[in-house]
Structures are given as structure tokens and as C-alpha cells.
Amino acid sequence: MHSNRTIFDFSLIPDDWTQLSIEQAKGVWDLCVPFLRQHGLTLFGYPGYRSAPLPPRSNPRDAFHPSNYEDFVNRLPSPMYPRLTVYTPYSASTYAGIDARGRNIFIKVVLQASNEWRVMQYLSKIKHAWNHTIPLLSLLRAGKWVFIIQPFWDFGWDIPPCDTAGARLRLVKQLVEGLCFMHEHGVAHNDIHDRNILINHDNSRPMSLVGFRDSFRCQLAFIDFEFSVRFPKGSKNSVAPAQCMTPPKFCPPERELYVPTDMFAGDVYSLGRVLQEELEFSGSYLTAKNDCPPPKMEVAYIALLDRMTEIDPLDRPTSLEALQILNNCEERTV
């Protein structure tokens, strides 16, 4: 974590910063501008934003480990708007901006007592093909606060929908691999839903000729570890009391009991619901657009999603078992 030479009194920041309205929080972000500039960061809409250099033209070869000479996201050739032109914060503690090289960044502020930045720091240090945690660019300490700096990826991971079974399996495998990685390292995400998954592209995957989407490679990542729990190394117990803050349609039913539950099984349920929603949306979207017939998924894939969303946590597969089933599906898919 980077330290800082204080250039203003961080005690001026109200203790309830994260609980303020977005309008009220604007004044707090104003206070942080000099501190962030000291670290080469410029907030969206503030002086210097529009005159800053444009991001590098090279797309990242590995979006999870971009070099200093690459952009953070993939863009179409000659993008019209290589930096954000419209941005509305979705909470008081989040904002967007650019780094010293003009690359779009996302900033989230949490208290130092928060577990979120610690979990992200722990996961980001582990280089593994299954690690689908949003990249952590830096952590900036500011008084009792920590600024989490990450690349600005986008939400459109499911738009346009996959037009082949193979394309869907490749996307889904990334998410299940990411879940396996977290669970293998003792982390339960505890808030998986469709808006906590991002894609390493500017906006969504491009709409183009039928079949092109199948070969348009992308990388997905989980975000928002506010409610995550890290269990001790070697612990076989993933059970903890947990109130579900996830949107109701993705929340494991056992969480409504407010009793200790297997949080890994809860993650499996939530991801299963995300994938069921994606499948349903894909069919209705492609049918309505007359773009192409929805890809037919094999029975084993549908059955896997049903198992992942069983009411009884004991009836659900582990994340690793789910991945093994997906691998078998992929081997049988042309």
C-alpha cells in the first residue's frame, strides 16, 4: 500500500462519507483532488481531465496484468471516445477518472477497518489463470480511508448475447474458474450478481456479423468484495453467519434464515442464478432481434444450473465440480 505525504487534513473528511448522498459527497471528492493528483490521478470532470493525454492505442495482451504502454481495456480500432465523456457515480464512495497515462480508472473509497481492500490485495497478489478478480492498480492510504484504484472495465458482459453454445461455455468457464480460485484460497465473495461482473472492453462486446462474437475473445472479472469473507488458511469450514445484501433474485434462500450457512455453497447458488438469467435473456433478446436463433445448450449444462440453484445447499455442486462438468460440456460442443 502506498503511503502519502499529507497535503491536506484528512480529518476534514466526514466519518459518514460512504453514507452521504451522491450530491453531498461531491464536496468531499473536491477535498481529495490534490491528494489524488499527487498520485497522478485526475477525477472525471475536474480541471485537467479533458486536456490529459489520450490512453495508449495498444489493447492489453493480458487485461489482468497490463503494461504501462497498453490501455486497460480492449477498444475497437480508432475509438471515437477513448475516455469517458459521461459518468454518474452510483454511490458516494465511488468515482471515475484517469491515470497519468490517460487510462480510465475507477476509484472506490473504504475505511481502513474494511475487509474489502484486504481481500482484493490478497487475491491480486496471486498470479493464476483462474484468477478473475478485477485488477488492483494501487491502494492509497489517506487518514482512516483507503482509496482502491482499479481499471474502468464495463458492465456489458452479456450484451450482445452469445450466438453459439461454444461462446457461452467460454464465458461461463471464466466465471466458474474465478469462483474456484476464490474458494481454493479461502475467500467467499458473498455478493455475486449480474452487476458485480465486468468485461475488459470499452462498453460491451461489439455487435457485428453473426459468428464474429464467437471468436471475439474477452476476459471477465468479479468486483465488489465489500461483503467477502476470507477464511483461515487450511480451514475446511466455510460456514459463517451472513445477512444477504445481494439482490433478492440472486440471494441464496438459506441466507433469509440469518443463521450460519456455507458461504461457498451460497456463491455457487448466486452464480447459478446469474447464469440462468443470462440464458433466459439471451433467448428472448435474440428472438426479438431476429438476429440469429438462440444457441441450443446441451441438457448437461441446463442440469448443472439447476443443481447450482438447488434450495438445499448440500445438493449443490462445489465450484470445482461445476467446472469439471463445464469442461465435459465443452469437449462435446463443436
One digit per residue, the tens of pLDDT, for the chain of length 334 reads: 555 554 567 778 888 888 899 999 999 999 999 999 999 999 999 999 999 988 998 989 999 999 999 999 988 766 666 778 778 888 999 999 999 999 999 999 999 999 999 999 999 999 999 999 999 999 999 889 999 999 999 887 887 777 778 888 999 999 999 999 999 999 999 999 999 999 998 755 555 444 444 445 789 999 999 999 999 877 767 787 666 788 999 999 988 887 788 999 999 999 999 999 998 887 666 665 655 666 788 899 999 999 999 999 999 999 999 999 999 998 887 6
3-state SS, residue 83: coil
pLDDT of residue 212: 43
pLDDT of residue 332: 84
Residue 157 is assigned to a structural domain of this protein:
no
Largest CA distance in the chain: 61
* Same domain flag for 142 and 238: no
Last residue of a domain, one of 128, 151, 174: 151
Residue 5 is assigned to a structural domain of this protein:
no
* Same domain flag for 119 and 190: no
Cell of 98: 484517469
pLDDT of residue 1: 59
pLDDT of residue 74: 86
Alpha-helical runs (H) found in the chain: 22-38, 116-124, 165-184, 212-215, 263-289, 299-308, 319-332
* Same domain flag for 170 and 314: yes
**Which of 127-148 are b and which e, b meaning 16 or more Cβ less than 10 Å from the residue's Cβ?**
eeebbbbbbbbebbebbebbbb
Query: Are 261 and 252 contacting, i.e. CB atoms less than 8 angstroms apart?
Result: yes
Distance CA 126, CA 16 (A): 33
Residue 159 is assigned to a structural domain of this protein:
no
Residue 156 is assigned to a structural domain of this protein:
no
What's the pLDDT tens digit per position in 239-281? 876 667 889 999 999 888 877 889 999 999 999 999 999 988 8
Interacting residues of 75 by C-beta distance below 8 A, sequence separation 6+: 59, 82, 201, 202
Query: Are 260 and 240 contacting, i.e. CB atoms less than 8 angstroms apart?
Result: yes
Distance CA 81, CA 201 (A): 13
Residue 129 is assigned to a structural domain of this protein:
yes
CATH assignment of the domain containing 65: 3.30.200.20
* Same domain flag for 169 and 301: yes
Last residue of a domain, one of 117, 151, 185: 151
Question: What is the amino acid identity at position 232?
Answer: P
* Same domain flag for 256 and 293: yes
Distance CA 226, CA 248 (A): 17
Residue 4 is assigned to a structural domain of this protein:
no
Residue 218 is assigned to a structural domain of this protein:
yes
CATH assignment of the domain containing 311: 1.10.510.10
Question: What is the amino acid identity at position 289?
Answer: K
Closest CA to 322 of 166, 213, 181: 181
DSSP 165: H
Last residue of a domain, one of 123, 151, 179: 151
Burial class (CB in 10 A: 0-12, 13-18, 19+), 46: middle
* Same domain flag for 15 and 118: yes
* Same domain flag for 94 and 37: yes
* Same domain flag for 172 and 311: yes
Interacting residues of 1 by C-beta distance below 8 A, sequence separation 6+: 121, 139, 140, 141, 146
pLDDT of residue 167: 83
For the chain, the residue count is 334
Q: How many domains does the chain have?
A: 2
Cell of 12: 476534514
* Same domain flag for 123 and 262: no
pLDDT of residue 206: 53
* Same domain flag for 292 and 261: yes
pLDDT of residue 319: 98
* Same domain flag for 141 and 226: no
pLDDT of residue 109: 95
What's the pLDDT tens digit per position in 35-50? 999 999 999 999 999 9
Structural domain boundaries, residue 45: 10-151
* Same domain flag for 78 and 222: no
Residue 3 is assigned to a structural domain of this protein:
no
